[in-house]
A and B are shown apart, each in its own frame.
Chain A
Amino acid sequence: DTGVSQNPRHKITKRGQNVTFRCDPISEHNRLYWYRQTLGQGPEFLTYFQNEAQLEKSRLLSDRFSAERPKGSFSTLEIQRTEQGDSAMYLCASSLGSAVMSEQLFFGSGTQLSVL
């Protein structure tokens, strides 16, 4: 068990460019979540997957954002035409996906995005 891995750790881009982040969850985990965290705030839910199916998307996720989990393993989060307001820490988490409501989420260290 190597934990949840996110790449890159840091990304600096110019406004208008596209960026893509990758998340590798813990291997046996069926659920994968994306959160966004800005300075001084708690993480905000963006979207989650059960295996390869994207089951819920927050209204925070504008049409410039897209997430995929093609084979139910790793996931990517792409932001098109980045804006300065997209600057944040993007967190990925995974969980077993059992029927237990209160199951633990395991978080990665995040990707820090800076849009200049």
Chain B
Amino acid sequence: GNSVTQMEGPVTLSEEAFLTINCTYTATGYPSLFWYVQYPGEGLQLLLKATKADDKGSNKGFEATYRKETTSFHLEKGSVQVSDSAVYFCALSEWGANSKLTFGKGITLSVRP
């Protein structure tokens, strides 16, 4: 079956540090890949997505590239801010029409001023 593996957390960084959060996946066919973010007290919201190999998703300074050869979708940001403190989930949706998501465990990011 499909699965998503995220690096263990939590992660604590100083403001303006570089961020990488690793994500690898196992899937049949050609999944779409997503990063969702959950800010404190809020619901999950889409951060970025990529639908095919070598696509790069980007939003709010975050980027992730769909790497089919390494089955990875690592999230990066060049300079994090305190407001980026949240829980980040990597997810995939399998080929088909229902957009059902399979999530990783999530990782908590805390950014210190």
Q: Is the interface of A mostly helix, strand, loop or mixed?
A: loop
Which B66-108 residues have a C-beta within 8 angstroms of A?
89, 91, 93, 95-106
Please name the residue on chain B nearest to A55 by beta carbon. Answer: B98
| Assembly CA distance A107 to B49 (angstroms) | 16
Q: How many chain A residues touch the partner (CB < 8 A)?
A: 29
Q: CB-CB contacts of B15-55 with A at 8 A, as 1s and 0s?
A: 00000000000000000101010000111111001010000
Please name the residue on chain A nearest to B38 by beta carbon. Answer: A107
Does A28 interact with chain B (Cβ within 8 Å)?
no
Contact A101 B51 (CB under 8 A): yes
Chain B residues touching A, range:
20 to 34
- Chain A residue numbers with a CB within 8 Å of B32 are 101-102
CB B65 to nearest CB in A, in angstroms, measures 16
CB A101 to nearest CB in B, in angstroms, measures 6
* Residue from B42, B49, B103, B105 within 8 A of A102 (CB atoms): B49
- Chain B residue numbers with a CB within 8 Å of A93 are 44
CB A108 to nearest CB in B, in angstroms, measures 5
Contact B103 A101 (CB under 8 A): no
| Assembly CA distance A41 to B105 (angstroms) | 4
* Residue from B41, B42, B99, B103 within 8 A of A103 (CB atoms): B99
| Contact A45 B101, CB 8 Å, known A105-B46, A107-B43, A109-B42 | yes
Q: Which B residues are within 8 Å of any A CB, using their own CB?
A: 4, 32, 34, 36, 41-46, 49, 51, 89, 91, 93, 95-106
Q: Which A residues are within 8 Å of any B CB, using their own CB?
A: 3-4, 31, 33, 40-45, 48, 50, 55-56, 91, 93, 95, 99-110
22 A-B contact pairs sorted by A residue (CB < 8 Å): A4-B43, A31-B99, A33-B100, A42-B89, A42-B91, A42-B106, A43-B101, A43-B103, A44-B103, A48-B98, A93-B44, A99-B97, A101-B93, A101-B97, A102-B32, A102-B51, A103-B99, A104-B49, A105-B99, A106-B45, A107-B43, A109-B41
